[in-house]
Amino acid sequence: MYQRNLFVKIFYPLSVYLVYLFLYLPVIILVLFAFNESSIAVGWTGFSLKWFKALLQTPQMLHALKVSLIVAISSTFLSVLMGSALVFASKWIKNPLLFGMFSTNIILPEIIIAVGLLSIFTFFRIPLGYESLIAGHTLIGLGFVIPIVGARFKELDPLMTEASTDLGAMPFQTFKKIVLPLLAPSLIVASFLVFTLSLDDFFIAFFCSGVKVQTLSIYVYSLVRQGIDPRVNAISTCLLAVSSLFVLVLCSFKLVDQLFSQGK
């Protein structure tokens, strides 16, 4: 009994702390060396912002960032638009298998989806570029938009939409005036999530972008293959800051959504 209490009080919390340390120590080191003055990541030589300034002086990296933003914004818009339409259509289309198929994107390894998309594009002779890249990211995004928005849509009171229909509102008017405002928190959460996933994606970009389109993740990969570049630490720190900001926004909207639901 004493050994069991000792395990619970000491060993179990210590193992949890070690796991968190193993997960976040590389991230802490990466952020730390992003501000290191030395170009060799072997020791701390002084605080400096020159590697962040070097990012602004690298046209290839800025172009790759521009491509990533275009793809992320486009795929986010298409994923949210198509996903919301499918969720709203589930009111009339009673087929759980049709909507459950999109949840497999979360389960399947992304490399399998990327290779499958590449095979489809090759079979139909679709050129690789912006279109194929946006299509791939939209497919991945639907696997997150539909479950998030669908869960919120199931919580809506059907009496509200029925009352709108009884008062003579068309389905589009009901969706615009009643359903859309109630789905707004989940739509914002899904948008930030899909945007972050698209911005950080590597496998879809690697297999479906072609040779003319290079995203930021592919550009960082090319830098890492040539050796350790401090600019990689700097751009990774910037992406980490943006992702952390999105997480805070997601948590804020989720909290507001829960408070709104409890208030009802």
Largest alpha-carbon pair distance within the chain? 72
For residues 227-244, give the mean pLDDT: 82
Q: Indicate the Cα dihedral angle 63, 68, 70, 74, nearest 10°.
A: 170
Phi, psi of 133 (to 5 degrees): -70, -45
Q: How high is the pLDDT of residue 231? A: 84
Give the residue, 205 or 227, on which the prediction is more confident.
Answer: 205
Phi, psi of 202 (to 5 degrees): -120, -45
The domain ranges of the chain are 59-263
pLDDT confidence band for 118 (50 / 70 / 90): very high
Nearest CA to 78 out of 122, 152, 130, 36 is that of 130
Q: How high is the pLDDT of residue 151? A: 84
Q: How high is the pLDDT of residue 206? A: 92
- Right CATH number for 59-263 from 1.10.3720.10, 3.90.1570.10, 3.40.220.10, 3.60.110.10? 1.10.3720.10
Q: How high is the pLDDT of residue 82? A: 92
Nearest CA to 239 out of 206, 208, 201 is that of 201
Q: How high is the pLDDT of residue 92? A: 75
pLDDT confidence band for 256 (50 / 70 / 90): low
Nearest CA to 118 out of 53, 205, 187 is that of 205
Indicate whether 64 pLDDT > 80.
yes
Q: Are 197 and 140 in contact (CB under 8 A)?
A: yes
Indicate whether 119 pLDDT > 90.
yes
Report percent pLDDT > 70 for the chain: 89
Indicate whether 1 pLDDT > 60.
no
For residues 45-61, give the mean pLDDT: 86
Nearest CA to 58 out of 224, 216, 164, 246 is that of 216
- Which residues, including other chains, have CB under 8 Å from residue 77's CB and lie 6 or more apart? none
Indicate whether 177 pLDDT > 60.
yes
State the residue for tokens 């090319």: 222
Q: In this structure, what token pair is assigned to residue 256?
A: 């507001």
Q: Tell me, what DSSP letter sits at residue 128?
A: P
The residue count for the chain: 264
Q: Residues of 113-122 as b/e, b for ≥16 C-beta within 10 angstroms?
A: bbeebbeebe
Q: Structure pTM?
A: 0.81
Dihedral of alpha carbons 197, 198, 202, 208, sign: positive
CA distance 205 to 224: 16
Q: How far is CA 248 from the centre of its chain?
A: 14
Q: What is the pLDDT of residues 120-158, one digit of tens each?
A: 999 988 899 999 999 999 999 998 898 888 888 888 887
CB atoms within 10 A of CB 90: 16
Average pLDDT of the chain to the nearest whole number: 83
Report percent pLDDT > 90 for the chain: 19
Residue 47 pairs in a beta bridge with 36
